[in-house]
Chain A
Amino acid sequence: DTEVTQTPKHLVMGMTNKKSLKCEQHMGHRAMYWYKQKAKKPPELMFVYSYEKLSINESVPSRFSPECPNSSLLNLHLHALQPEDSALYLCASSQEIYRGTNQPQHFGDGTRLSIL
């Protein structure tokens, strides 16, 4: 079982809906990440949070809005998505992101999102 928990596992939404993806970890990690994975492709980084502050935004469209309310939780708010946004959205966490402290990222099982 993964130590990073994502909810919901599946989500179907229309292009005018607003929904949120949630991610939780209790490993004491201080860095959290959102990735997007299309079918038969590798995960692609979207956002990185370090100590609850946004550290990296990989030029993600504003219809995706991340939020880190505390060190254990990471949300991804969705609004006015397009059909091409249908994908598996993965959350990951790691101990921290400072240089010299390379640690692996641990992934949840993702939310499979379908946009109608």
Chain B
Amino acid sequence: GESVGLHLPTLSVQEGDNSIINCAYSNSASDYFIWYKQESGKGPQFIIDIRSNMDKRQGQRVTVLLNKTVKHLSLQIAATQPGDSAVYFCAENILGGAQKLVFGQGTRLTINP
């Protein structure tokens, strides 16, 4: 499953499928980007980050892609599990250094059994 555009707040996928969550960021000067996962009643949890001199970074079951030309960021989650259900936020650092993060509106990911 894939979310498209900044304003689609929800994404439902079948357990075991891959998910793609998209994010359009606002500032062409942003140099650092982070994906966070927020479960109900919890604070945002760091998933993966990427610097502007990279276009791809992989973690455990997650991959972040950065396209600076169109100011687009995506998070790919492989083989989704029920525990992946949460709201996912992209965040851009607009000042340099981990100083001022601006968060996207978020996408709620629901995993169907």
Residue numbers in A under 8 Å from B44 (CB-CB): 43, 90, 107
Q: Is A102 an interface residue (CB 8 A)?
A: yes
Q: Is A61 an interface residue (CB 8 A)?
A: no
Q: Is the CB of B89 within 8 A of A107?
A: no
Q: Is A104 an interface residue (CB 8 A)?
A: yes
Chain B: residues with Cβ within 8 Å of the partner, total of: 25
Q: Is the CB of A109 within 8 A of B106?
A: no
A-contact bits for B35-52, CB 8 A (1 contact / 0 none): 010000111111001010
- At the interface, is chain A mostly helix, strand, loop or mixed? loop
- Distance in angstroms between the alpha carbons of A55 and B31 in the assembled complex: 19
Chain A: residues with Cβ within 8 Å of the partner, total of: 32
Picked from A98, A102, A106, A110, the residue with its CB within 8 Å of the CB of B31 is: A102
Q: Is the CB of B99 within 8 A of A31?
A: yes
Residue numbers in A under 8 Å from B100 (CB-CB): 45, 48, 56
B residues adjacent to A (C-beta < 8 A): 31-32, 34, 36, 41-46, 49, 51, 89, 93, 96-106
9 extra interchain contacts, Cβ-Cβ under 8 A, other than A6-B43, A102-B49? A2-B43, A44-B103, A45-B102, A55-B99, A96-B97, A96-B98, A98-B97, A102-B93, A102-B98
Closest 4 A-B residue pairs measured CB to CB? A42-B103, A107-B43, A102-B32, A99-B96
A residues adjacent to B (C-beta < 8 A): 2, 4, 6, 31, 41-45, 48, 50, 55-56, 90, 92, 94-110
